[in-house]
Amino acid sequence: MSRGSRKLVELFYDVVSPYSWLGFEVLRRYTDVWNINLKLRPAFLGGVYKGSGNRSPDNVPSKYLYMRTDLARLSAYFDVPMASPADPCNVIEKGSLVAMRFLTAVAERELGGDCRLEQISRELWMRIWSRDQDISQLASLSEAGLKLGLPGSEVEELVKLATSQSVKDKLKATTEEAVQYGAFGFPLIVCHVNGRPEIFFGSDRFELMAHCIGEKWMGPQPNKLFRCFAKIPSHRHNQTFTYRNLAMTM
C-alpha cells in the first residue's frame, strides 16, 4: 500500500548543543522507519540566542547544573556516547562559529544528499561531547576531516571555503531562517505537513512529532525492536518485512 510522498523534515542544529546530537541521531535512525526525507541545516546557536533574546546554559547556573545530570541520563536512554567535557563552560565560551562555518562549507560542497555532512557533524559532536577535544580552531576541524578519510587537498579546500564571505552569508541566512521559525535554542525540527510547517524544539518531542506526521514512535532505538521481531520463528512473520512496513502495523 502506498503511503504517499515523503515528508520533508529539517533539522536545524549546532554541534555545541548536545541536545542537537540526540535529535540528530534519533532522526537518522528513523529515516529507514518513517516516510520522511531528512534535511540537515547547520546553523549558529549563538546567533539564535541573540535573535531570540535567550541565554545559554552557562549564564544560568541552575540550568547548567541540571544539564550535566540530564545529559548523563540521556546518554544511556538514547544510546549516544556522551561524556561531559572537563570544562563545559569553556567549550560554550569558545563558541562554535568556526565549526558551523566549516559544516556549512561541507554542505555547500555536498552533492546528492547529506552523507558527508552527517559524518563530519557526528565527528565534531564526538570531539566535544565524547572525547573533550577542541572544535574552535581550523586546525582541529582539519584533523576531524582527515580522521574521516577525506583527502588532504579536499580538507584544505573546505577550510578555505569556510572562511569565504559566501559561506559566512549562508550560515547567517540559515540562522536567521531558524529564528524566523521561532527558534530560541537547538535542536529545532521543522516538519512540512500539508503545505505548512510544524515546529518542534528539543530532543524530547518525537512522540508528538510522530503523531503530527502520521507515523509511529517506537522509542529512541527502533532498531532494537526490529532485532526482537527478527528473532520470532519464521512461520510467524514474513521474513521479507521492512522497517517501514513493520512501523505501519503497530
Catalytic (active-site) positions: 17
Listed residue (12, 8, 7, 9) closest to 173, CA to CA: 12
Q: Residue 49: what are its φ and ψ, rounded to 5°?
A: -60, -45
> Counting runs of H as helices and runs of E as strands, what totals does the chain give?
12, 4
For residue 56, what is its C-alpha cell?
A: 545559554
Across 210-231, b (16+ Cβ under 10 Å) vs e yields beebebbbbebebeebbeeeee
* CA pseudo-torsion sign 31, 32, 37, 40: positive
Tell me which residue of 218, 231, 176, 237 sits closest to 29, measured CA to CA. Answer: 218
What number of CA atoms fall less than 13 Å from residue 239's CA on the CB side? Answer: 4
First to last CA, the chain: 15
